[in-house]
Structure 1
Amino acid sequence: MSQFSPYPGAAQAARPVIEPAARATGLTKVYGKGGTRVTALDGVSVKFARGRFTAVMGPSGSGKSTLMHCLAGLDTVSSGSARIGDTELSSLNERQLTALRRDKVGFVFQGFNLLPTLTALENITLPLRIAGRAPDPEWLETVVATVGLGDRLGHRPAELSGGQQQRIAVARALLSRPEIVFADEPTGNLDSRSGAEILGFLRYSVRELGQTVVMVTHDPVAAAHADRVVFLADGRLVDELREPTAGAVLDRMLRFEAEAEDAGPGH
């Protein structure tokens, strides 16, 4: 008997539908009222596929950090939908949101956010210990090896370089095996060499560990480490690039600036 189905598309139809790691649908976020009303996000719809590295870029004030905060459950939405997997964030109360952020979301911030009195290892395992969970020893070893900090685990943050501190933050984000890691300008406080190391670790976590990463950045070189770049302007999704290069990202950003200048100050 032939191994091929007589019905074209039957095999495709049998494949399970895989939910994106996170998605926004018609997402709007408004701050203030009346004369102080600001629309930070204006009907944004975007999906972030599992096991992929996506960079979010745009001019200052374009809404990129707001989008990340809404999708991570750090900020509420005014209208539309924000989901982690198949969970609608607006349906959760504060206790449920806290549990979701703890169990399904990892964060890497520009400022490292490490506790100075704790060792590197204690900082890495802190969120799990707060949740009353012991880290998987084998996974902890994998994560520590991934970020190359095996000989620094007993050091406190003040005894480490900026790049090493950010590596601790990346390890901490990966340790709980989150569905998605959000990174907000993770190389912003680092020199170019340390920044390249962090981007390499994030890239490795996607390629080798199957992690999903969404990174907000203004740096075309950083964005070139991603599988895809999405661009925001004036709170709207306006473009995207697949398999980006630093040059292609820079060209697109320069076009944004030229279009903004052509639109004039009243835009």
Structure 2
Amino acid sequence: MTSAVTIPRHGGTGGTTAVAARARQVVKAYGSGETRVVALDHVDVDIARGQFTAIMGPSGSGKSTLMHCLAGLDTVTSGHIHLADTEITGLKDKKLTQLRRDRIGFIFQAFNLLPTLNAIENITLPMDIAGRKPDRAWLDRVVETVGLAGRLKHRPTQLSGGQQQRVAVARALAARPEIIFGDEPTGNLDSRAGAEVLGFLRRSVDELGQTIVMVTHDPVAASYADRVLYLADGRIVDEMYQPTADQVLDRMLRFSGGHPQTPDFDSRGRTS
């Protein structure tokens, strides 16, 4: 399904890009009265289809809350969220669960693999639960894209952390979701394994046409994205297209008054 709403394509070509998800005047608040905390403060954002978007900001800025609301994992206090042409705010739990299962993929910092299943069984598990048969040609292509062909019969305990996260990436891709959300997907990996996983995510956008939204603290991880959104105090305060790690680090330092926010950045822009 392609949304009728379009946004300008970056690069000044005059074309347009379909919107995979959008938020309009979204407020998310916790508590009431003097204890009320506003995590998202009237956020407007469009997520372009077929692009890789990173969401960054200091701790407590609202970046994970925004991702959870866009993904239908959390409710909004006010405002509207659409997945393509479907408004998800106000959907009943059963409908929302079905929408997340059928149209959205997730990759978390913890790999969330079942230890009793091998790699291929973990990859196809969401489709098995939904009673859907995987598209074999697509599944083979996904497995090839993430480099798991020789590891499909291995259980998670027989795989490295990087390989386990590749299984999680393949699981998210295998059902051909409209959009994939990643919450610090390389946070538990060393820099080499993290770079491999980020490379696979980048390839899934470039070669498979996937749409990815990733929350990250890491400027190096953000440099794999087409676009970086910066949040502060529950608002989008800036964005950057075609970022480099150094540009992202400089921007983060500027927002924090020259002092990196937790977790700290090292001299190469990696989180420590």
Normalised by the length of structure 1, the TM-score is: 0.90
Distance in 1, matches of 2:83 and 2:18, equals 9
Structural mapping, 1:133-148, within 5 Å: 133-148=132-147
Other-structure match for 1:7: none
Establish whether residue 237 from structure 1 lines up as the match of residue 236 from structure 2.
Answer: yes
Shift of 1:189: 0.1
Which residue identity is paired with 2:223? A
Distance in 2, matches of 1:185 and 1:29, equals 21
Q: Is the 8 A contact 2:23 2:82 kept in 1?
A: yes
Distance in 2, matches of 1:55 and 1:16, equals 22
Shift of 1:34: 2.0
Deviations 1:202-249 (A, max 9, x none): 000000000000000000000000001000000000000011011110
- Paired residue total: 247
Establish whether residue 82 from structure 1 lines up as the match of residue 62 from structure 2.
Answer: no
Structural mapping, 1:185-224, within 5 Å: 185-224=184-223
Shift of 1:91: 3.5
Distance in 2, matches of 1:210 and 1:17, equals 16
Shift of 1:33: 1.4
Q: Is the 8 A contact 1:19 1:86 kept in 2?
A: no
Other-structure match for 1:31: 30
Establish whether residue 70 from structure 1 lines up as the match of residue 48 from structure 2.
Answer: no
Q: Bigger radius of gyration, 1 or 2?
A: 1
Q: Is the 8 A contact 2:19 2:46 kept in 1?
A: yes
Shift of 1:19: 4.1
Distance in 2, matches of 1:75 and 1:135, equals 28
RMSD of Structure 2 on Structure 1 (CA): 1.6
Q: Is the 8 A contact 1:224 1:246 kept in 2?
A: yes
Deviations 1:86-138 (A, max 9, x none): 11111311111011101110000000111111111110000000000010111
Structural mapping, 1:1-267, within 5 Å: 19-258=18-257
Q: Is the 8 A contact 1:146 1:201 kept in 2?
A: yes
Distance in 2, matches of 1:235 and 1:151, equals 44
Distance in 2, matches of 1:247 and 1:18, equals 27
Q: Is the 8 A contact 2:253 2:259 kept in 1?
A: no
Distance in 1, matches of 2:134 and 2:191, equals 32
Distance in 2, matches of 1:36 and 1:68, equals 23
Shift of 1:35: 2.7
Distance in 1, matches of 2:76 and 2:16, equals 26
Distance in 2, matches of 1:149 and 1:178, equals 20
Which residue identity is paired with 2:196? E
- In structure 2, do the counterparts of structure 1 residues 88 and 260 end up closer, same or farther at CA, with 3 Å as the change threshold? farther
Secondary structure of 1:90 counterpart: coil
Distance in 1, matches of 2:96 and 2:253, equals 38
Structure 1 unmatched ranges of 5 or more: 1-14, 262-267
Secondary structure of 2:89 counterpart: helix
Secondary structure of 2:257 counterpart: helix
Secondary structure of 1:183 counterpart: strand
Distance in 2, matches of 1:259 and 1:34, equals 34
Shift of 1:16: 11
Structure 2 unmatched ranges of 5 or more: 1-13, 261-272
Distance in 2, matches of 1:101 and 1:224, equals 27
Shift of 1:36: 2.1
Normalised by the length of structure 2, the TM-score is: 0.88
- In structure 2, do the counterparts of structure 1 residues 227 and 131 end up closer, same or farther at CA, with 3 Å as the change threshold? same
Give 1 or 2: higher helix fraction: 1
Same amino acid, percent of matched pairs: 68
Secondary structure of 1:186 counterpart: coil
Deviations 1:157-207 (A, max 9, x none): 111000000000000000111110000000000000000000000000000
